[in-house]
């Protein structure tokens, strides 16, 4: 395995860091995150739900645009998952800090999500640098976990907007997502260890 070094980024062509239409859409998703959080703290749950749905749709749109116009770049590949993580962690963190809700997201859950996302980000950077540009793609379980987290957030927004608080549904959903987060965390950790040990089956 090659020694970890950020100097490998300098060897990438400048075209890999260009701002494309798909990259601009991804940056728009990042910009929406603080707007959603602000709306949450103002109690504008309907606005939060709409903005979050728009942000979630851009996650599909930027990938479609990148493929259709052949705009896949290293910068876009880095920013796309990072935007999802900023959106999820910021929303879950704000939900944990809001005391006026019928039920709020527990701090331990936010910590668990944050730990998973940080491991994925730093693991991707390390593997990319150490393995000279090897591509690490999200697993099916990882995609499902992210999608369910987004649906869970939208559901919470709508619950708060309509004043509907079904505790059983909330705790069951929270338990399911927690299990998926833990399992996907272990899966990504095993994949990272596999790359670190230079196994060809990764």
Prediction pTM value: 0.83
* Burial of 25 per CB tally in 10 Å (0-12, 13-18, 19+): buried
Per the model's pLDDT, the better-predicted residue between 77 and 181 turns out to be 181
Confidence of residue 200 (pLDDT cuts 50, 70, 90): very low
Q: What are the pLDDT digits (tens) for 150-167?
A: 999 999 999 888 888 788
- Per-residue pLDDT tens for 34-74? 999 999 999 899 999 999 999 989 888 887 887 777 777 77
**Nearest CA among 191, 97, 71 for reference residue 136:** 191
Average pLDDT over residues 160-186: 91
Sign of the dihedral defined by the CA atoms of residues 174, 138, 191, 91, in that order: negative
């Amino acid at each position: 395995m090659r020694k970890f070094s950020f100097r490998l980024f300098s060897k990438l062509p400048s075209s890999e860091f260009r701002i494309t239409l798909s990259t601009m859409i991804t940056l728009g998703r990042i910009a929406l995150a603080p707007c959603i959080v602000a709306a949450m703290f103002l109690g504008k749950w309907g606005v939060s739900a709409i903005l979050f749905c728009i942000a979630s749709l851009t996650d599909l749109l930027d990938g479609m645009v990148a493929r259709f116009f052949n705009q896949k770049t290293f910068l876009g590949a880095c920013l796309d998952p990072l935007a999802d993580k900023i959106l999820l962690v910021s929303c879950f963190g704000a939900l944990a800090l809001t005391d006026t809700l019928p039920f709020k997201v527990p701090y331990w859950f936010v910590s668990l999500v944050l730990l998973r996302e940080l491991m994925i980000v730093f693991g991707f950077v390390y593997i990319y640098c150490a393995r000279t540009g090897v591509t690490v793609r999200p697993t099916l379980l990882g995609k499902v976990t992210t999608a369910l987290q987004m649906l869970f957030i939208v559901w919470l927004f709508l619950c708060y907007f309509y004043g509907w608080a079904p505790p059983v549904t909330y705790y069951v959903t929270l338990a399911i997502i927690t299990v998926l987060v833990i399992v996907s965390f272990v899966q990504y950790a095993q994949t990272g260890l596999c790359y670190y040990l230079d196994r060809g089956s990764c």
